[in-house]
Amino acid sequence: MRVLVVGSGGREHALAWKLRQSPSVGELLIAPGNGGTGALGENVAVRSDDTAGLVRLAQAREVDLTVVGPEVPLGLGLVDALSAAGRLAFGPTHLAAEIETSKAFSKDFLRRHGIPTAAYRTFTDHGEAVAYVESLTAAPVIKADGLSAGKGVVVCDDLDQARAALDQMMLRREFGEAGSTVIVEERLVGQEVSLLAFSDGTRVATMIPAQDHKPAYDGDQGPNTGGMGSFAPAEIMTEEMRRAVTRDVIEPAIAGMRAEGREYRGVIYAGLILTSDGPKVLEYNCRFGDPETQVLLPLLDGDLAEICRQCTVGHLDPSAVSWHLGACACVAMTSGGYPGAYRTGYPIDGIEEAEHKGCLVFHAGTKREDSRLLTAGGRVLGVTAVGPDLDSAISTAYDGVSSIGFEGAQYRTDIGAKGLAFSASRRTPSEP
Ligand code: AMP
Ligand code: GLY
């Protein structure tokens, strides 16, 4: 098969790395790819939001299967356009992708199908939204509808902050059109877990649970980022809980989308908070997570190209999806200043040394220029390691990080600490 991966981040490097291992994959193209993906296949300079350009590429190179990484091309209808051109493409259609790209659709969908989520109300009128916020007894979360690059969410500590967020979104339109519809949501308390599943529109194969680290600094302090690191499996989600979430959150979503004429094929990602009332959905994403993919795919004991093909044609065999024992951790190394302003173009050293120590180094914001590898984005690398347990995976990943250098490099030093704390709490008997 000739396979095309769409995207340029760490997730897409991990996808390309895993697809490269499939015996059925011959040629591998990545559009546009990054400084790391070029070693696995051919980077082609077509942007991931250039739907027409990607369809032309798939036609010209007779691509058998396209695997779409990010939500933007899915929201733009890349899978619809490729299918219309007779090309297999893995991922939801434009209508199915609305489970992520429209928060208002997604919240109403959750309610229609009785899927556990935070209580919420949707507003298009600023005055009504303010009046509702003033009637609340606890500080809510305010969300702008539509995509705003992860920025359209304000988790409020008090009602003043909630009013300020409504002004920012609905009056000053700081997130653009996304601010014309705003969701005021109950603030949930608990650990966040990501549970992803493959689906062919009917059947599902749930992955192992993973945890992301969104805040920029240690101890979950600082501004939210695209993700500073991840680990899997997240044992805080027990096997029993994983089965319950599959039954109560994943399967009803797939069945609900089919019933609403939005058949969902691809990866569905449930972002959950494990509350004292049980797991509740924060959001669905219509794609693989970044950086969850970097820790899930190294543990996937299966042929990714075949799994994607099966989902795309509507015949997933869930037994094709199984998992290695052990654990995986990924530490994001970012440019100095990220997620605020940062500079790029600095040389990166030490990747080979980290690889010799047993790390998989997934590139995100990197590029090659005259055979040199340079920084080219906020998140630069995802230094990843597999181990027999989480402790050893984390140690190997940080050992790799210590080998790698570029001007201004930043990273969190506590990736996976929550997972270790959970394992330790289980080892400590709670009764004398
Ligand atoms: P989202 O863009 O919806 O994924 O939200 C970004 C982040 O905001 C999430 O990862 C959570 O950490 C936080 N968040 C969103 N909704 C809630 C909520 N209802 N309660 C608590 N935290 C939330
Ligand atoms: N890890 C968060 C996301 O992929 O949206």
**258: three-class secondary structure by DSSP:** helix
Per-residue pLDDT at 147 exceeds 80: no
Q: Which residue carries 């997972």 as its tokens?
A: 419
For atom 3 of ligand 2, the residue with the nearest CA is 289
Residue 299 CA to ligand 1 center (angstroms) comes to: 27
- Tracing tokens 């608990």 back to the chain, one arrives at 190
Read off the pLDDT of residues 236-289 as tens digits, 9 standing for 90 and up.
999 999 999 999 999 999 999 999 999 999 999 999 999 999 999 999 999 999
Nearest CA, atom 5, ligand 2: 289
Q: Does residue 233 have a cis bond before it (omega within 30 degrees)?
A: yes
Name the β-bridge partners of 361: 383
Amino acid (1-letter code) at residue 268:
I
- Is 64 close to ligand 2, i.e. is its CB under 6 Å away? no
Nearest-CA residue for ligand 1 atom 13 is 155
Kindly report the protein residue whose alpha carbon is nearest to atom 4 of ligand 2: 289
Residue whose structure tokens are 């059109």: 177
Mutate to test the pocket of ligand 1, among 110, 151, 155 (most ligand atoms within 8 A of CB): 155
Ligand 1: which of 221, 282, 290 to mutate, most ligand atoms within 8 Å of CB?
282
Q: Is the CB of 290 under 6 A from ligand 2?
A: yes
For residues 198 and 332, give the distance between their C-alpha atoms in angstroms, rounded to a whole number. Answer: 25
Atom of ligand 1 nearest to the CA of 185: 19
**Ligand 2 centroid to residue 70 C-alpha, Å:** 10
What's the pLDDT tens digit per position in 315-371? 999 999 999 999 999 999 999 999 999 999 999 999 999 999 999 999 999 999 998
Let me know: does 282 contact 171? Beta carbons within 8 Å.
no
71 lines ligand 2 (CB under 6 A): no
Q: Which atom of ligand 1 approaches the CA of 187 most closely? A: 20
Residue 241 makes CB contacts below 8 A (sequence gap 6+) with 274, 279
pLDDT digits (tens, 9 = 90+) for 40-69: 999 999 999 999 999 999 999 999 999 999
Closest ligand 1 atom to Cα of 186: 19
Predicted confidence (pLDDT) at residue 389 exceeds the cutoff of 70: yes
Gap from CA of 188 to ligand 1 centroid (Å): 8
What is the percentage of the chain residues whose pLDDT exceeds 70?
A: 97
Q: Is ligand 2 within 6 A of the CB of residue 382?
A: no
Query: Taking all residues of the chain, what is their mean pLDDT, rounded to a whole number?
Result: 95
Q: To test ligand 2's pocket by mutation, which of 72, 285, 293, 415 has the most ligand atoms within 8 angstroms of CB?
A: 285
Please answer whether residues 278 and 294 qualify as being in contact, where contact means their C-beta atoms are separated by less than 8 angstroms: no
Torsion over CA of 51, 250, 111 and 256, rounded to 10 degrees? 70
Task: Report the distance separating Cα 250 and Cα 245, nearest Å.
Answer: 7
β-pairing, 372-375 vs 366-369, is antiparallel
Confidence of residue 145 (pLDDT cuts 50, 70, 90): confident
Q: Is 100 in the pocket of ligand 2 (CB under 6 A)?
A: no
* Ligand 2 atom with the shortest distance to the CA of 288: 4
What's residue 38's pLDDT?
A: 97
Cα 271 to middle of ligand 2, angstroms: 8
Ligand 2 atom showing the smallest separation from residue 230 Cα: 1
Model confidence at 177, in pLDDT bands (50, 70, 90)?
confident
Atom 19 (ligand 1): residue with closest C-alpha? 187
For 355-420, give the DSSP string: HHTT-EEEESSEEEETTEEEE-SSEEEEEEEEESSHHHHHHHHHHHHHH-B-TT-B--S-TTHHHH
- The predicted model scores a pTM of 0.94
Comparing 133-147, 308-322, 418-432, the range with the smallest average pLDDT is 418-432
